Amino acid sequence: MTVGERIKIARESAQMSQDELAKRLGYKDRSSISKIEKAPDDNIAMVLVRKIADILNCSPMYLMGWDEQEDEYYLNDNTRKIAQEIFDNKELGLLFDAAKDAAPEDLQTVHTMLMALKSKEGT
């Protein structure tokens, strides 16, 4: 998948038209966005990729295709599943950005402790 194709997917996911993205980037019309979405990877400047990523609320790494191997990030499948559960809980997810080689039981222990601490806040 090209950078342009990923930009199109991110734009559509953000429910944004080519016209709106063009306007937010300072272009006169959507033709520039159409060209970007069809361009070969080597024709899109990194500065532009960063601006588009900011507008579409995604990472430049995603648009560049550098994190497509998301499912292979964790070395252990059980670790991946537990980390995903933690990540889905937005209050806890930020803590585990670098947990790729943690043992599943270690992540589960930390998760249990954090949930216990969180439940104490409510009492």
Query: Do both 59 and 81 map to the same domain?
Result: no
Residues 44 and 59 in one domain: yes
100 and 48 together in one domain: no
The number of beta carbons lying within 10 Å of the beta carbon of residue 84 is 12
Residues 58 and 76 in one domain: no
Q: How many Cα neighbours within 13 Å face the side chain of 118?
A: 10
Q: Helices 3-13 and 31-38, interaxial angle, to 10°?
A: 130
The range of the structural domain enclosing residue 114 comes to 70-121
The strand ranges marked E within 12-120 are none
Total number of domains constituting the chain: 2
Do 59 and 101 share a domain, yes or no?
no
Residuewise pLDDT in 10s, the chain (123 residues):
889 999 999 999 889 999 999 999 999 999 999 999 998 877 788 899 999 999 998 888 888 888 654 445 555 677 777 777 776 776 665 565 546 567 778 778 877 887 887 787 665
Q: What is the CATH number of the domain that holds 8?
A: 1.10.260.40
| pTM listed for this prediction | 0.55
